[in-house]
Structure 1
Amino acid sequence: MSMVYLVSEVRSPLVDFGFAEVRQALEAAGLEVIGPSPGLRDDPRVTPVIVVRTAGSANEVDAFIAGADGRPAPTYPDESFTITGNGGRVVVEAVHPRGLLYGCLEVADLVRSQSWTDEGLEVRKSPSLAVRGVKFNLPYEPYSNGDPFKENLETCFDLEFWRDYLDELARNRYNCLSLWSLHPFHLMVSSPEFRDANPFTDEEIADHERFFHALFGHARDRGIDIYLFTWNIYLPEPVARGLGLPAALANSSEGTETINRWDAARARQRAPQVSAYYEEMIYRLLITYPELDGIGTSGSEAMSGTGSEKEQWVVDTYLRGIERSGRRVKFLNRTNMQSTADIIALAKPRIDPSRFYISWKYSIAHCYSHPRPAFEDLQHAWDGVDLEETQLLFTVRNDDVHTHRWGDVEYVREYVRAIAEKNYVHGFYWGADGYLWARDFQHVDHGHKAWRWDFERHRLQFQLWGRLAYDPDTASDVFERLARIDHGDDASNLYEGLRHASRIIPAVNRLCWRDLDFQWHPEGCLTRDHGLRTVLDFLDSSPMPGVGTIGIREFAKAERNGGTSAETPLDVIALLTEESRTAEEFAAAAEDRDPAWREPLAACAILDLRATAALGRYYAAKIEAALELARAEERGEPGHAVRAAELLDEAVEHWKTLGFFWSQHYRPYQMARVDRIFGYPFYLDDVRRDVHLARAFGDNLPQGEVTP
């Protein structure tokens, strides 16, 4: 077999893209590809052949007719598909073009596994989660300033980036791109009524509209819905002036008002021209961009008053704008700094229930912690809420790992299964508040760098969240085969090594938990307020609530009283030590292969493995040192503090190793939410200071007395 025929009975950009992926997989297997051509569909002599056809009526037409008749239409398209194969004839069938796309992508996987010609081939799949999205904070009027946004201002007005990014999302079965900005309106639309509030010329406004139409159009051609999210109430200075407000009431990032923050928020909230402007902007967005599928917001950081007062403002602006547009878009109301009861009482009666969603931060800021976070129960999130009549979407925040690769397939599999078990949750969008995977500005532009975009370096992470959200049963070897595309013959070692290395950050988060992104970036051991998190911070830390991990001080007490059945600091230390050792072994196995030519992404991944393993060893030593300090305190035995200082001396060496491997291919940058320089060598003196803190801790203990 050297020639394969492609036959498409459906004309759709989604099917065209799916067939392009099949063609690429077949050609990589050394096969010649003919087609796609509908004229070959009934020719029995044409084998092997891959046929794509619609099963039943296209529900896009059904949905349109239902809407025109005033009847309820499906909220989501049918994305299921079937694949059957016999005698060299493979048939992909689905009701909707999205299902056909995902069926084609599945065929490409089957080609890579050399099983697409199996007799009696039968694959039937439907999405586990209806919404599988990414959270992308735009660099225009961003929530926080920092290099991730400054370095991507041009990138995010580059259609080449968006086409590559959206293609990658589609390959991985994402169907939602959520775009977040404090104030996107003046960049996207203009209104005659508020022309003075838009600082751009008519020509610039027209250029912006063409750009966003092209971006949103490509998303539609890849089966990806667009949701636009805002916080409230933020006004860039030109907009504020155009609305007749003093510059002191402007703000274009978190906490940048020039007068008292809450007085400014109250004034904006009560200004009639501000609420009228917001209503008009929502209306203009929806009539200008029919490609927009959803609007999301919250009564958030720059608002004042009670929850019901803030929600009333949202209802009087956003929902009024949606009502005026006549569009049947989704409305997503975030619970951030609001009461779910207030939201439901005021917003839900004003919008079609099938299009109304509560949006909630599932793991707060740290999805890499525990795959089944307990915050819903701990925070009594749904007290008084009828979950049979309430639809939820989760925000899944990765403010944990922004530099080195991450990829633990079993962790993500368990995470998405836990979400899918909640019948009131329709899906999620994952991403960061302080980072965006666009232009790879962290990596030096020489050496082994042969790519442009950050998501290419982090491809495995994107693959895991998208593909497993569609099908949590996707076999691990699917991802290992995909890794070969980027990493060549090093793929097996690097995939396994990353799987182990990726267990380091979640273990540290579980033991030394901090809720919010600016409070704690575990990849750098950094906080906004104090820089490097010290050994005393670890000693004082609490574990992640509700997941069965016992904290350092509590465990030191439990040791004296018979132990505990929880995950202990000793368990975490053992895990960090073992996973670091294993990651090092796989990195060494890849290096020992020593080929004449190594794929650039493989060379990069080896350094990432080495660095993450060193980070794991650093944390193991630091956590053990904090435990020794707790023992010294609990038992009144300063000798434990001496041992802590010795461990922290070891931690210094691990930090040096970490800095060495990081500096081989990365450069420092100004973080956004943590507002610190990211770069390990810059904090070596802080790491050394931990040794002195441990010694001083021991010196200050009462000699020979047991702490009560």
Structure 2
Amino acid sequence: MNEQNPVTTGRTATWAMEQLVRALAEKGIAAGNPPVRLATPDEVPAADLPAVPESYAILRAADEIVVVSNDEIGVRCGVLELADRVAAGQDLAGTTPFAEQPAVPVRGVVRSFSSVDEDTSWFHDKQFWTEYLTWLAASRFNRFHLALGMQYNYGADRRGATDNYLCFAYPFLFEVDGYDVQAEGVGADEQKRNLDTLRFIAAESKRRGLKFQLGLWNHAYDYGRDSVHRYPITGIGPDTHAEYCKAGIAKLLTECPDIDGLTFRVHYEGGIPDHQHEIFWRAVFEGANSVGRPLEIDMHAKGVDQALLDAVDLPNLSPVLSAKYWAEHVGLPYHQASIRAKETAKPIPAGHEMKGITEFSRRFTRYGYGDFLREDRSVDLMFRVWPGTQKLLAWGDPAIAAGYGRLSTFGGSRGVDVCEPLYFKGRHGSGEVGMRDPYVREDLKLPGNREWTKYRYGYLLWGRLLYNPDAEPETWRRHLRSTYGEAAAHVENALSPLSRILPLVTVVHGVGGSNNGYWPEVYLNLPISSRVESPHYKGDTDPPANWGGVSPFDPTTFYGIDEYVAALAGRKLSAKYTPLEVASWIERLVADGQEALVRAQATADQSDPQVRRMLIDLEILVRLGRFFAGKFRAAVDYSIYRTTEDVSSLESALRHYRPARNAYVEIPAIVDGVYQQDLRFGIEASEHGHWADRVPEIDVDLAALAAELQEASGTEPAAALLAAPVRPSTPGVEHTGPDGFERGKPVTLSLDVVDPDVIGATLHYRHVDQSKPWQQVPMELSGQTLSAAIDGDYTASTYPLMYFFSVRHRAGGQALYPGLAADLSNQPYVVLGSTTVSG
């Protein structure tokens, strides 16, 4: 090892070698048998390493193994790969050369301090941090984001705030010279303890090669709305707010030198009204800039405008916008082809200046990448995967994780932060001391702040497949074998398809963009029947607030239910995926998962607590899949009945809904005495509770449908309506896209027809800008080629293009191209950049 080279002798490289030595010792192998040497490419020219940060190669030279990289993170990846192989029982003497490079530059995990009652224990637990951060590093994450103040939305939380510990962080950490700002009840000793802990977390993150990102998601010192704060902030007012925060951020960065970057929620929910927000934020940014070291300033993209981008333009600051990937949920890996109509821009009404930019003029930035992906942009963009879909149950699908690895750099984006399991547990003052662990059954509990260890496999898949979406399955199967023994393959084969269900449901059933209003995992029932009111969902979905009226989160790729039935009735069915196709996909996923689950139950060592935890969660996921598949089918039938008055369709709705309901009702019995009766992720109706709580509303909905059937007067079955064209088994075309387009010049796109049943196609295209609508142009057939052009006026833009095709077949069916693959992990459209070099 070259002692003069910081790449091979720095703290991350040293730490990684310590992990390898420990792994060898645990197997009774002396370190240095064979010796492992760290080197840079200039020391080992034969390495032929690509000039991509965090790449590494493993070489054999004489009797030693050489880990080669240009940087410490690459060294860490290579050395920990060797340590993982040792832990799995492999002999390093048999190591053959290999190399890897990262697909995604930013691969982050977010953990939120949401509850003084449930989170204080892990926050101050050094043993927890040692084990947890080590697993993140071994999983190849390169960023850790500790979020403070994210659990409340200033000006949006109907009941104000109670548990405000660390929300307005500065007075919980230190005194700021020249100000007498206090968090009541927090003395100097507690401040020092908090600051020391923050320093420790930052330093231990950096030691493991994780950039440390501190999220200061709230800058409100008083939440208003008659909030009764547990730790009232005193000594501050409107006249001193900005200057205090400017001084506070400078002191924080000075006291904690291992902070690499800061994340801010810069719209009104972070405590600063939208109107003239740039004045406050300029002061904060100047405070950060004054420390004199390079810092990443991550601005949550919702509501960002040019005034904020101008305010952050300071010499030591590198701004980046972080957009939501699929609203506040976990969806499929691709980025929604379009946002819901509800998210389009709107004029700012008088009196709504506090949230005018976020909720009105730039509303389209709320739940996606908005208009931030211009090729000439001056600020980078990354994504954040929010925790609305699944917070509690085990998750693990290599296909979906690899899809995120391929698509998190969409449009030249930098990567992704993933909100971890149990996110927001205890939010909105709902926490209780000792209740962070959701288990109540003694043999399943994970005491000592180790509840995160249940999800090791999920962290591993996210991290390793974001780094390399083409990683060998052995990458994760080593862990499965060590955890589940003979049942490892069956657990993998069950968990993979079952983990795909809720992200699919989220994408298609876009009933609420907010994570505190929509939780598919413990689903608060939205009725099918038009006779049942649903006040809970009315605020975040278009009327009517029932299943038929819900828009998908991607209404370009998927039909809503009433929309689908209207298209059937009008004989205007397009190539979009239908709710019945979605139901079929879910049923297939359930069948595959159920088959593997039976095998896992037969072979697993059920005396092991982690095995039991996994098998219970798999049982729940099977029932959730059956419930949602049945409900999609029932909702389509009901919509047909409402359109045609065909009573047989209403009968069919009940035939599908009853077994769906019965599947959901099986869940409370499975989890009886296993999980807390009130799983508290907040105080709103769908943020807490239990599966058993949801059953009565399902029964009310069923009863309403049954009552409608009793009252209905029969008509002839709508046979013609039900005979929808069948989607072709293949699109019947092939496409090779151009390498790029020249701005201001037409670009011609063509399809090669390989199926004689293809009779035509339409090109759909738009800029990579979610504020703009899709354009369509019919394609012309010449011989065996379909072609269409995007005109030069449209390409005269600094945005990349995105496009797909709808292909018509002779029998009447249509297909999307490229469409979604069987594993739902690809991108159903093509993105095309310009060949113009940006200035």
State the TM bucket, normalised to the shorter chain. Answer: 0.7 to 0.9
Q: What is the distance in 1 between the residues matched to 2:392 and 2:279?
A: 41
| Aligned AA (1:283) | A
Q: What is the distance in 2 between the residues matched to 1:421 and 1:654?
A: 38
| Aligned AA (2:517) | Q
| Aligned AA (2:415) | G
Secondary structure at the counterpart of residue 153 of structure 1: helix
User: Residue 408 of structure 1: CA displacement?
Assistant: 1.2
Structure 2 matches for 1:410-559, cutoff 5 A?
Answer: 410-423=399-412, 425-431=413-419, 435-436=423-424, 441-449=437-445, 452-513=449-510, 514-526=512-524, 530=535, 537-546=546-555, 548-559=557-568
User: Residue 376 of structure 1: CA displacement?
Assistant: 8.2
| Aligned AA (2:516) | F
Change in Cα spacing, 1:706 to 1:321, as seen in structure 2 (3 Å) is farther
User: Residue 491 of structure 1: CA displacement?
Assistant: 1.3
Change in Cα spacing, 1:159 to 1:375, as seen in structure 2 (3 Å) is farther
Aligned residue in 2 for 1:66: none
Structure 2 matches for 1:140-219, cutoff 5 A?
Answer: 150-182=117-149, 183-199=168-184, 200-219=186-205
Secondary structure at the counterpart of residue 267 of structure 2: coil
Aligned residue in 2 for 1:251: 223
Aligned residue in 2 for 1:371: 334
Structure 2 matches for 1:2-13, cutoff 5 A?
Answer: 10-13=8-11
CA contact (8 A) 1:488 1:602 kept: no
Secondary structure at the counterpart of residue 180 of structure 1: strand
Change in Cα spacing, 1:376 to 1:572, as seen in structure 2 (3 Å) is closer
User: Residue 480 of structure 1: CA displacement?
Assistant: 2.0
Aligned residue in 1 for 2:301: 335
Change in Cα spacing, 1:559 to 1:123, as seen in structure 2 (3 Å) is same
CA contact (8 A) 2:148 2:218 kept: no
Q: Which whole-Å deviations, capped at 9, do the CAs of 1:319-371 have from their partners, x for residues lacking one?
A: 121132223211122222x23323223322x3446x12122222221123453
| Aligned AA (2:417) | Y
Q: What is the distance in 1 between the residues matched to 2:667 and 2:505?
A: 16
Is 1:360 equivalent to 2:357 in the alignment? no
Aligned residue in 2 for 1:83: 58
Structure 2 matches for 1:228-247, cutoff 5 A?
Answer: 228-235=214-221
Q: What is the distance in 1 between the residues matched to 2:545 and 2:282?
A: 46
User: Residue 115 of structure 1: CA displacement?
Assistant: 8.1
CA contact (8 A) 1:524 1:680 kept: yes
CA contact (8 A) 1:633 1:701 kept: no
Q: What is the distance in 2 between the residues matched to 1:346 and 1:566?
A: 42
Change in Cα spacing, 1:526 to 1:276, as seen in structure 2 (3 Å) is same
2:697 counterpart (671, 677, 686):
686
TM-score between the two structures when normalised by the length of structure 1: 0.81
CA contact (8 A) 1:550 1:567 kept: yes
Q: What is the distance in 1 between the residues matched to 2:613 and 2:554?
A: 36
Name stretches of at least 5 consecutive residues in structure 2 with no aligned partner: 1-5, 44-50, 150-167, 230-234, 345-363, 427-434, 527-533, 722-839
CA contact (8 A) 1:269 1:313 kept: no
CA contact (8 A) 1:367 1:397 kept: yes
Name stretches of at least 5 consecutive residues in structure 1 with no aligned partner: 1-7, 37-46, 58-75, 141-148, 236-249, 260-267
Secondary structure at the counterpart of residue 574 of structure 1: helix
Secondary structure at the counterpart of residue 442 of structure 2: coil
1:299 counterpart (241, 255, 267):
267
Q: Which whole-Å deviations, capped at 9, do the CAs of 1:11-45 have from their partners, x for residues lacking one?
A: 444334433544565567xx532136xxxxxxxxx
1:324 counterpart (268, 277, 290):
290
User: Residue 129 of structure 1: CA displacement?
Assistant: 2.1
User: Residue 93 of structure 1: CA displacement?
Assistant: 1.9
Q: Which whole-Å deviations, capped at 9, do the CAs of 1:250-299 have from their partners, x for residues lacking one?
A: 228xx66589xxxxxxxx99822111111111111011111111122113
Change in Cα spacing, 1:677 to 1:258, as seen in structure 2 (3 Å) is closer
Q: What is the distance in 2 between the residues matched to 1:185 and 1:219?
A: 21
Change in Cα spacing, 1:24 to 1:547, as seen in structure 2 (3 Å) is farther
User: Residue 97 of structure 1: CA displacement?
Assistant: 2.5
1:662 counterpart (656, 660, 671):
671
Q: What is the distance in 2 between the residues matched to 1:272 and 1:433?
A: 40
User: Residue 94 of structure 1: CA displacement?
Assistant: 2.2
Secondary structure at the counterpart of residue 146 of structure 2: strand
Per mean C-alpha deviation after superposition, the further-off stretch among 681-690 and 86-95 is: 86-95
Q: What is the distance in 2 between the residues matched to 1:128 and 1:22?
A: 25
Change in Cα spacing, 1:508 to 1:484, as seen in structure 2 (3 Å) is same
Is 1:601 equivalent to 2:610 in the alignment? yes
Per mean C-alpha deviation after superposition, the further-off stretch among 504-513 and 643-652 is: 643-652
Per mean C-alpha deviation after superposition, the further-off stretch among 524-533 and 685-694 is: 524-533
Q: What is the distance in 1 between the residues matched to 2:175 and 2:210?
A: 25
| Aligned AA (2:578) | T
Change in Cα spacing, 1:387 to 1:399, as seen in structure 2 (3 Å) is farther
| Aligned AA (2:243) | A
Aligned residue in 2 for 1:616: 625
Q: What is the distance in 2 between the residues matched to 1:217 and 1:397?
A: 26
Q: What is the distance in 1 between the residues matched to 2:549 and 2:699?
A: 19
User: Residue 417 of structure 1: CA displacement?
Assistant: 1.0
Change in Cα spacing, 1:419 to 1:493, as seen in structure 2 (3 Å) is same
User: Residue 498 of structure 1: CA displacement?
Assistant: 0.4
User: Residue 230 of structure 1: CA displacement?
Assistant: 2.4
User: Residue 605 of structure 1: CA displacement?
Assistant: 0.6
1:637 counterpart (646, 652, 665):
646
Q: Which whole-Å deviations, capped at 9, do the CAs of 1:64-104 have from their partners, x for residues lacking one?
A: xxxxxxxxxxxx99422211126653211223332211111
Change in Cα spacing, 1:542 to 1:455, as seen in structure 2 (3 Å) is same
Aligned residue in 2 for 1:672: 682
User: Residue 151 of structure 1: CA displacement?
Assistant: 2.2
Q: Which whole-Å deviations, capped at 9, do the CAs of 1:501-536 have from their partners, x for residues lacking one?
A: 011102211221132212311111138985699997
Equivalent pairs, count: 631
User: Residue 387 of structure 1: CA displacement?
Assistant: 3.9
Q: Which whole-Å deviations, capped at 9, do the CAs of 1:443-500 have from their partners, x for residues lacking one?
A: 1251244665232111122112211222222123321222122222221111110001
CA contact (8 A) 1:333 1:343 kept: no
CA contact (8 A) 1:648 1:690 kept: no
Change in Cα spacing, 1:372 to 1:515, as seen in structure 2 (3 Å) is same
Q: What is the distance in 2 between the residues matched to 1:577 and 1:368?
A: 18
Q: What is the distance in 2 between the residues matched to 1:666 and 1:171?
A: 30
| Aligned AA (2:396) | G
Structure 2 matches for 1:30-179, cutoff 5 A?
Answer: 32-35=28-31, 48-56=34-42, 78-85=53-60, 89-111=64-86, 112=88, 114=90, 116-118=92-94, 121-139=96-114, 150-179=117-146
Secondary structure at the counterpart of residue 443 of structure 2: coil
Secondary structure at the counterpart of residue 37 of structure 2: strand
Q: What is the distance in 2 between the residues matched to 1:414 and 1:360?
A: 18
Q: What is the distance in 2 between the residues matched to 1:547 and 1:174?
A: 33
Q: What is the distance in 2 between the residues matched to 1:274 and 1:522?
A: 39
Change in Cα spacing, 1:276 to 1:562, as seen in structure 2 (3 Å) is closer
Per mean C-alpha deviation after superposition, the further-off stretch among 504-513 and 224-233 is: 224-233
Q: Provide the alpha-carbon RMSD of the alignment.
A: 3.5
Q: What is the distance in 2 between the residues matched to 1:654 and 1:400?
A: 19
CA contact (8 A) 1:299 1:314 kept: no
CA contact (8 A) 2:601 2:615 kept: yes
TM-score between the two structures when normalised by the length of structure 2: 0.69
| Aligned AA (1:662) | V
Per mean C-alpha deviation after superposition, the further-off stretch among 431-440 and 367-376 is: 431-440
Secondary structure at the counterpart of residue 339 of structure 1: coil
